[in-house]
Amino acid sequence: MGDDDDRDCVEHVWVLDGAYMRAGRSTLEYGCSRCGAVSVRPANWSGRGGE
């Protein structure tokens, strides 16, 4: 596995890469500063589940 393979990353360090408005919905895009993996979430997402 290479240095940029997100499976090698034991714990992602998410950094906000951008906020986007698409078709009336806001999304936040995060990138892992260690491996470069990308995560896209709704702007109102709390990460606590059940919401």
Quick: pLDDT tens for 4-49: 555 678 899 999 999 888 787 888 999 999 999 999 888 877 666 5
Q: What is the pLDDT, as a whole number, of residue 50?
A: 47
- In sequence order, which residues have a C-beta less than 8 Å from that of residue 20 and are 6 or more positions away? 26, 27, 28, 29
Distance CA 36, CA 30 (A): 9
